[in-house]
Amino acid sequence: MLLASLCGMAPALADDTPYSKGMRAYGAKDFAAARKEWAQSLAEGGPDEALNNLGFLYYHGLGGDARPGKAVALWRKGAALAVSESQLHLGQALEAGKGVDRNLVAAYAWYRCSVATAGKLSRNDRAEASIEKDAIAALAKLAATMSAAEREAGGRFALTLIAKYSEPLSMVP
C-alpha cells in the first residue's frame, strides 16, 4: 500500500523543513535519509504525519533495520492525534500481529476509526479519500473473517476510538 501522504497529495510545506526533506528523500528512494529527516521533524514538533511516515519505514525495514515494535509505537501516537493513515497502519499491524500482539477486534476498531477520521476530510482531500478507501477495503476484508460477536465487540470499541481520536489534534502546543 502506498502512503497517501507520500504520494504528493499532502499539503506543500516549506522546502527547507525536515518533513519536506524527508518527502524528497522518500521520493528518491533514499530511505535512510527519509528516516533521519522525519525523526528530526518529530523532534521539532511535527507535522504529525511524520509519525506515520517514519513508522512505515521502520515497519518495512526501509532505510535500516526493520523495527515493527517502534513503528507500532509511532502509529499509536499518530492514531491518537487523528492521523488517519496511522490509524489504518495500526489496524494492519494488529491484524497481522507484527510489532504487536494480534488482535482482530482492535484491528477492526482502528479500521473503523480510520474510515471516520479520513471521511471527515475526504471530500476535499485526495490523500484522505485514498486512505478512507483503503481503510474501507481493509475493514471489509477483515470483517469477512470475524464472527458476529467479534464484529460487535469491534464496533463497540470503534465507537470509543472514534469519539476520542477522529478529530485532528496536534503535537505542537
Residue 5 DSSP code: G
CA distances from 19 to 11, 27, 57, 138 (A): 11, 12, 14, 28
Whether residue 4 is predicted with pLDDT greater than 70 in this model: the reply is: no
Q: How far apart are CA 48 and CA 26, in angstroms?
A: 17
Q: How far apart are CA 113 and CA 82, in angstroms?
A: 9
Residue 48 near residue 171, CB atoms below 8 Å: yes
User: CB within 8 A of 36, min separation 6: which ones?
Assistant: 22
Residues 145-150 have a mean pLDDT of 98
Q: What is the pLDDT of residues 82-131, one digit of tens each?
A: 999 999 999 999 999 999 999 999 999 999 999 999 999 889 999 999 99
Percent of the chain at pLDDT exceeding 90:
83
Please give the pLDDT value at position 8: 44
Q: What is the pLDDT of residues 11-21, one digit of tens each?
A: 444 578 999 99
Q: Cα(first)–Cα(last) distance of the chain, in Å?
A: 32
**Residue in the structure block whose three cell numbers are 504487536:** 100
Residue 144 DSSP code: T
